[in-house]
Amino acid sequence: MAQITNEEKVLITVAPVTSQNNPAPIDGAVSFTITSGTGTIEIVDDKSAYVVSGDIAEDLVVEISADADLDALGVATITDSITVSVILAQASALGVTVGSPVSKV
């Protein structure tokens, strides 16, 4: 599980493999979908996307799918999912300001 703050995004990249863990081609682009949570997806290329946090602390479930059938006529969907935990960003400075002077009386 990846962990990011509500001010961050994280890159997710897939590298399809066979059952023997050898590199394998896929047909077309990978699909990235958030199935739970309020984050968003920013597609980078056919095999990569950023998972962008929402404004609240929550777990984002991302479903990733692709067509493993290289034949133009068929579809053999393979699917995986990941969870990205979003935590609230911590304060890093106090942001102190000084107001305008006012009379004491």
pLDDT of residue 72: 74
pLDDT of residue 1: 84
Do 5 and 53 contact (CB within 8 A), yes or no?
A: yes
Provide the mean pLDDT of the chain. 95
Please write the tens of the pLDDT for every residue from 9-55: 999 999 999 999 999 999 999 999 999 999 999 999 999 999 999 99
Please write the tens of the pLDDT for every residue from 75-100: 899 999 999 999 999 999 999 999 99
Q: Where are the domains of the chain?
A: 2-87
Do 27 and 69 contact (CB within 8 A), yes or no?
A: yes
Q: For residue 85, how many other CB atoms are within 10 A of its CB? A: 14
> What is the value of pTM for the model shown?
0.86
CATH architecture under which domain 2-87 falls? Sandwich (2.60)
Widest CA span in the chain: 86
